Amino acid sequence: MKRFGSLRRSKKRKEQDGLGGRHQSEASCLSASGLSTPPTTPTQACSQPVFTQEAQPSGPSPERLEASTRSRSISTPPGTGQRLGLPFAKPPIAASSSPVPSYSTSPQVYGLFEGMLEKLELDDDAAEPESDIYMRFMKSHKCYDIVPTSSKLVVFDTALQVKKAFFALVANGVRAAPLWDTEKQSFVGMLTITDFIIILHRYYKSPMVQIYELEEHKLETWREVYLQATFKPLVNISPEASLFDAVYTLIKNKIHRLPVIDPVTGNALYILTHKRILKFLQLFMCEMPKPAFMKQTLGELGIGSYHDIAFIHPNTPIIKALNIFVERRVSALPVVDESGKVVDIYSKFDVINLAAEKTYNNLDITVTQALKHRSQYFEGVMKCHKMETMETIVDRIVKAEVHRLVVVDECSSIEGIVSLSDILQALVLSPAGIDAQHC
């Protein structure tokens, strides 16, 4: 058996640029009034001692870990003054035959991610010891490990008006928010851009007709109307669950945001995404043995979707694009010109600009007109080719901070889509013999 050592100093700098920095957290809770108010139980920043490598403890006691976990809670449900003990429903994940090392993190690990690989052991006798290295890395780390101390978490009360909620998403620069039900004293769901799209898709008639359901309904009314036949309990995860569990839960449930909820206090701590999990994994990839499949091409591995790809044209009306989002359940639509060349991409996130610009009452405008109002600088469509290696693909999608790459041929004609879900499935779940995308 052999063991990996601590991370190099360069990893510290890399981590600080992307995933590090332990500062006091901030949270926002929006009530029915639409005003931002601080949590009723303010979070106290705990001062953590820094141990030398020789004096560093092997791990905190259970009491210390619980205290540390509670101090990290960055949101207290609005309108309550007591701690809550919500039941945590662990996703139905079958136990793996491979052992999952027990893991207790020290304050120094939280601060600089040092020693992240010390628990990861390799078996020299294995025929291909590195084939499941990423799977075992994810199993030996917890969701708590990638929850930042400095972040913004916006919580909406279900009594808030739908329009105000979407405006609040835009104003706070977030893409989703947990929904708190005051009567039930628990989190009951998530509000995402997909909800905004579904409302527009269902109720838009013409520029001359106001969307009453968006203007007047409360979140609780919208949930009662829309979720009558499709109600599902809130999918969430404990901070003590492994990152492997988080990847499985995200992909199996076909969701893009997974709230991390403390089962002891009932507080929402963070919202996990595919992007952050892959970025965390990629941060340590150079310290681990490289699996052989990382040198194989997309074509050889068969990763991605290549059949019946949904796309639109520059002159496609926005309402038609929204219909495709809902009916095909895709998160982005490549924009293809008359020659078949990919010239742009219209994603679900771009739809929120309709709320920012307050132009959602006219959805007959074209995609090209709508994309002129992008709130962020757009560097162009991120593309790749079937002949590029998995290693290249992972580096590109992480550095670009996008959710998918458009696979094109030599003429820039669309061939397929490679998403973060496809990549995490291949890196983490497939080596365990699990196909969460089709189960």
| In the predicted structure, residue 329 carries a pLDDT above the cut 70 | yes
| In the predicted structure, residue 239 carries a pLDDT above the cut 60 | yes
What pLDDT is recorded for position 354?
84
What pLDDT is recorded for position 92?
42
| In the predicted structure, residue 66 carries a pLDDT above the cut 60 | no
The mean pLDDT of 384-401, rounded to a whole number, is: 96
Backbone angles phi, psi at 268, to 5 degrees: -85, 125
| In the predicted structure, residue 7 carries a pLDDT above the cut 60 | no
| In the predicted structure, residue 321 carries a pLDDT above the cut 60 | yes
Among 124-133, 247-256, 426-435, the least confident range: 124-133
The mean pLDDT of 175-198, rounded to a whole number, is: 93
Q: Report pLDDT digits (tens) over 108-166.
A: 434 444 556 655 655 444 445 578 999 999 999 999 999 998 889 999 999 999 889 99
| In the predicted structure, residue 64 carries a pLDDT above the cut 50 | no
Q: Report pLDDT digits (tens) over 15-59.
A: 444 554 433 344 455 554 443 333 333 333 333 333 333 333 334
What pLDDT is recorded for position 341?
95
The mean pLDDT of 295-309, rounded to a whole number, is: 95
In this predicted model, which residue has the larger pLDDT, 183 or 124? Answer: 183
What pLDDT is recorded for position 215?
74
What pLDDT is recorded for position 418?
97
In this predicted model, which residue has the larger pLDDT, 99 or 137? Answer: 137
* Residue 229 pLDDT level (bands cut at 50, 70, 90): low
| In the predicted structure, residue 385 carries a pLDDT above the cut 90 | yes
In this predicted model, which residue has the larger pLDDT, 97 or 201? Answer: 201
Among 148-162, 278-292, 368-382, the least confident range: 368-382
The mean pLDDT of 322-326, rounded to a whole number, is: 95
> What percentage of residues in the chain have a pLDDT greater than 90?
50
What pLDDT is recorded for position 357?
75
* Residue 380 pLDDT level (bands cut at 50, 70, 90): confident
| In the predicted structure, residue 250 carries a pLDDT above the cut 50 | yes
Under 8 Å CB-to-CB from 191, ≥6 apart: which residues? 156, 165, 169, 176, 177, 179, 219
Under a CB-based contact definition with an 8 Å cutoff, are residues 375 and 355 in contact? Answer: no
What pLDDT is recorded for position 434?
92
In this predicted model, which residue has the larger pLDDT, 395 or 225? Answer: 395
Among 82-86, 354-358, 384-388, the least confident range: 82-86
Instruction: Please give the Cα distance from 18 to 97 (Å, whole number).
Output: 33
Burial class (CB within 10 angstroms; exposed 0-12, middle 13-18, buried 19+) of 281: buried
> What's the 3-state SS for the chain?
CEECCCCCHHHHHHHHHHCCCCCCCEEEEECCCCCEECCCCCCCCCCCCCCCCCCCCCCCCHHHHHHHHHHCCCCCCCCCCCCCCCCCCCCCCCCCCCCCCCCCCCHHHHHHCCCCCCCCEECCCCCCCCCCHHHHHHHCCEHHHHCCCCCEEEEEECCCEHHHHHHHHHHHCCCEEEEEECCCCEEEEEEEHHHHHHHHHHHCCCCCCCCHHHHHCEHHHHHHHHCCCCCCCCCCECCCCEHHHHHHHHHHCCCCCEEEECCCCCCEEEEECHHHHHHHHHHHHHHCCCCHHHHCEHHHHCCCECCCCCCECCCCEHHHHHHHHHHHCCCEEEEECCCCEEEEEEEHHHHHHHHHCCCCCCCCCEHHHHHCCCCCCCCCCCEECCCCEHHHHHHHHHHHCCCEEEEECCCCEEEEEEEHHHHHHHHHHHHHCCCCCCC
The neighbour count for residue 295, using CB atoms within 10 Å, is 12
What pLDDT is recorded for position 209?
65
Cα 60–chain centre separation = 29
Among 65-79, 207-221, 327-341, the least confident range: 65-79
The mean pLDDT of 395-412, rounded to a whole number, is: 95
From residue 290, give the alpha-carbon distance in Å to each of 157, 245, 294: 46, 22, 7
* Residue 402 pLDDT level (bands cut at 50, 70, 90): very high
| In the predicted structure, residue 68 carries a pLDDT above the cut 50 | no
Cα atoms in the Cβ-side hemisphere of radius 13 Å centred on 45? 10
| In the predicted structure, residue 388 carries a pLDDT above the cut 80 | yes
